A and B are shown apart, each in its own frame.
Chain A
């Protein structure tokens, strides 16, 4: 098990009282596994992501990463662990004023010593530069490397975020809604690319997706969250239409429209099954 989650709870205290984002969640992830998380927005997927990449601490419960208790790590050990986990964010989280190349190099930060950091701020080493360029080639952005990150289109920014994770050489790739802001064709391409890159290097891939159809097509294992709890956790070909409708119909009434899977996906779903 690369990840083992043991009855994870996360509460937020707001003005309106305590919000239970995650409520006693337990599951595990095997090395090299490919899994997609689905669920309505507000089900706790993003919180779960921030717990998985160790930028947030749970209110209670334990997370084990590679047999080690994340809650007991600090300083150097914590950074070393984070280095092994690559995260791709929904809104890309790039530095807008840096060039594409520099943004890619940001993925190397965890590998650099203090001295190397100072030197690399002036000029990257040959090795890092090559790595960055390979990664940019892999996502097809090599010719854009001197452009500023905020000059890129949405799809290009997403590819850049992927390149940044590639140079990090993590054991696990986490992607939180990587295609939420892209059109369907582009989304398909990005997911295919992610799956291919993860497969080539035997990396674990954990993705949250709103497009259920994409998730079912590309990921062998589906984990569904509802109101901070596990709704179901099963193989993709065992996911029943009823279970899916159950997961989302409740949402239809409450959540706003843009967060629900779009009508096209639903029609497609109905046709294929």
Chain B
């Protein structure tokens, strides 16, 4: 064995990057490896330079002035706000307002989800590539004018879905407020369009990913596309589609709560008003109601999802058994196929695949029947009745049925508004004036995420159970005082994280405006505080979920907590932490386009101003800019995440 010792010492001295050349090939490979992970290359220097440049530019664009935070006026404003919040307003008159607002929010969410399913399902089917554009169904077909037209139409639908999704729901809300007036109707429509886009895209993806073999079999039998969709695609996609739709309802409740900030009714509307009336006690009550609503929503959907998963797994086990049966049948048929031609055998297999495809349907039905028998008919009727009542009252509450739709003026007004937006403003001077808010938006998202990462990282450490709390049978003497202190630290950190997270960005913007005044800095701070809460929780969960075995080994070797963190937890958690951060930055960029709607700077501010001034063509241009920004962010985020995973 060659003397590596001296070589390694030299290597350690040179910071592991400049390695002397070696003779034997495995060494060279390993050294190349080392250089790949630790070395300084031009590429890395370039990336670092770009990163620093982006940070500095963002800092200036977001008009960050930390000194402002320490000024006397700022502190006074914040303490006045904090004092004003207590006691919260629990007077009966105001509680009635809160109750109505909560009801309205729920109504908007339910109706919005319902409409978004109605919009999303057909669009999703239309956008599914396997049905219209490529794959087994089209492989044997001649390309004529009609198929080409369908393909183009499908592609256009996909693009439309992308557009509906990329424009933030608050911008949709603002547009509908202008089109149909204040109230909960614009909020409902905004959710319908925005989440219609989300659901349509998700549905299309799910349809795309179903097992293609049953489709092929049905197609070979000469089934129409509608039959294929109903018999082979939908039954396979049903469980994931239900799950995603439920999740989207959850998101709709969140969104409905903040849509009020642009005048679309619900809790957000009341928060906005109380804030502007300086009634901070009312603000606290509303925030508490908001948090309670979200917690209830979380608990409910978690319950439904658990039940759904139990159903799905039962179905899956049934399916597996059935597929095993059909496989043996297939084998038998092949053995018997000695007298038949191979062609017939193929037909037989195809028929069996259809059979199994139908089985999917039969099984779903079977499970339902089973459940019905178990739960008794009465219960089913009650449930159906309850669903109808909830839907009807939601429709009423969201202002969809109380005469608003019958109002001929409404359509005329919306038509005029849409007409007024065309053609979009393309004046060069105007376009150039957009550069500043564009830079502001990006700057807010970057610096806001950075603040969030800092806050999140600082709070995640004391909020990680594995770092802070002892396991009850861990060795070593412990004093009561120490144990109490550890719990106190842990719960304080969790409490702060929850508070930061559960207050929505837009409320934070209003609070930050009190402290530092209108403008991008308020938006940046707001984004940072909310992101800090979200990332802190995610970071803590990631750190807790790291495989414990290496950590146990280190503890057994006498390592202290900091060493365990640096050598055991962080190396394992790093890829996940990085990908959460990038994902959050993407979301923050979307959010930073709307912070301006309540005075947080960026493109949202420009939209708000132009709508107030009635420059509708400019609004359309701004929406297009936001759309382009969001899709390019998606692309950049995808790239960044792929890099993180490969490193």
0/1 string, A66-78, CB within 8 A of B gives 1? 0000111111001
Q: Does B15 contact A (CB under 8 A)?
A: yes
Q: Does A244 contact B (CB under 8 A)?
A: no
The stretch that binds A, out of B273-281, B423-431, B567-575, is B567-575
Q: Does B473 contact A (CB under 8 A)?
A: yes
From residue 562 to 599 of chain B, which have CB atoms closer than 8 A to chain A? 562-564, 566-568, 571-572, 574-575
User: Once the chains bind, are A98 and B12 in contact (CB under 8 Å)?
Assistant: no
Given the contacts A73-B477, A106-B554, A143 and B27 also touching, CB distance less than 8 Å: yes
User: Once the chains bind, are A102 and B556 in contact (CB under 8 Å)?
Assistant: no
The stretch that binds A, out of B30-38, B209-217, B255-263, B411-419, is B30-38
Q: Does B476 contact A (CB under 8 A)?
A: yes
From residue 1 to 28 of chain B, which have CB atoms closer than 8 A to chain A? 1, 4-5, 8-9, 12-13, 15-16, 24, 26-27
A110–B560 Cα distance when bound, in Å, is: 7
Given the contacts A56-B473, A93-B550, A114 and B559 also touching, CB distance less than 8 Å: no
Contacts of A109 in B (CB 8 A): 554, 557-560, 563-564, 567
Contacts of A105 in B (CB 8 A): 567
Q: Does B478 contact A (CB under 8 A)?
A: yes
User: Once the chains bind, are A55 and B8 in contact (CB under 8 Å)?
Assistant: no
User: Once the chains bind, are B560 and A79 in contact (CB under 8 Å)?
Assistant: yes
Contact of A130 among B8, B33, B474, B477 (CB under 8 A): B8
User: Once the chains bind, are A126 and B13 in contact (CB under 8 Å)?
Assistant: yes
User: Once the chains bind, are B557 and A107 in contact (CB under 8 Å)?
Assistant: yes
A61–B584 Cα distance when bound, in Å, is: 51
The stretch that binds B, out of A28-36, A84-92, A231-239, is A84-92
User: Once the chains bind, are B5 and A130 in contact (CB under 8 Å)?
Assistant: yes
Contacts of B567 in A (CB 8 A): 95, 98, 102, 105-106, 109, 121
Total contacting residues, chain A, CB less than 8 A: 60
Closest Cβ–Cβ distance, residue A63 to chain B (whole Å): 9
Q: Does B340 contact A (CB under 8 A)?
A: no
Contacts of A107 in B (CB 8 A): 557
A21–B9 Cα distance when bound, in Å, is: 47
Contacts of B568 in A (CB 8 A): 95, 106
Contacts of B572 in A (CB 8 A): 95-97
A123–B4 Cα distance when bound, in Å, is: 18
Q: Does A1 contact B (CB under 8 A)?
A: no
A53–B559 Cα distance when bound, in Å, is: 13
Contacts of B408 in A (CB 8 A): none
User: Once the chains bind, are B4 and A95 in contact (CB under 8 Å)?
Assistant: no
Residue in B5, B558, B564 whose Cβ sees the most chain A Cβ within 10 Å: B558
A125–B476 Cα distance when bound, in Å, is: 31
The stretch that binds B, out of A144-152, A181-189, A193-201, A205-213, is A144-152
User: Once the chains bind, are A93 and B553 in contact (CB under 8 Å)?
Assistant: yes
Q: Does B549 contact A (CB under 8 A)?
A: yes
Closest Cβ–Cβ distance, residue B647 to chain A (whole Å): 10
A112–B556 Cα distance when bound, in Å, is: 15
A75–B473 Cα distance when bound, in Å, is: 15
Q: Does B555 contact A (CB under 8 A)?
A: yes
Q: Does B298 contact A (CB under 8 A)?
A: no
Contacts of A147 in B (CB 8 A): 30, 33
User: Once the chains bind, are A146 and B556 in contact (CB under 8 Å)?
Assistant: no
Contacts of B557 in A (CB 8 A): 82-83, 86-87, 106-107, 109-110, 164-165, 168
Closest Cβ–Cβ distance, residue A166 to chain B (whole Å): 12
A100 nearest in chain B by CB position: B30
Binding site for B on A (CB under 8 A): 51, 53-57, 70-75, 78-87, 89, 91, 93-99, 102, 105-107, 109-110, 112, 114, 117-118, 121, 123-126, 129-130, 133-134, 137, 142-147, 164-165, 168
Beyond A143-B27, A146-B30, list 13 extra A-B contacts (CB 8 Å).
A51-B475, A57-B476, A74-B477, A82-B558, A89-B553, A97-B575, A106-B553, A106-B554, A110-B559, A130-B5, A143-B26, A164-B557, A168-B557
- A sample of 10 inter-chain contacts (CB < 8 A) reads A56-B473, A74-B478, A89-B552, A93-B552, A97-B571, A99-B37, A106-B553, A110-B557, A114-B562, A146-B31
Binding site for A on B (CB under 8 A): 1, 4-5, 8-9, 12-13, 15-16, 24, 26-27, 30-31, 33-34, 37, 473-478, 547, 549-550, 552-560, 562-564, 566-568, 571-572, 574-575
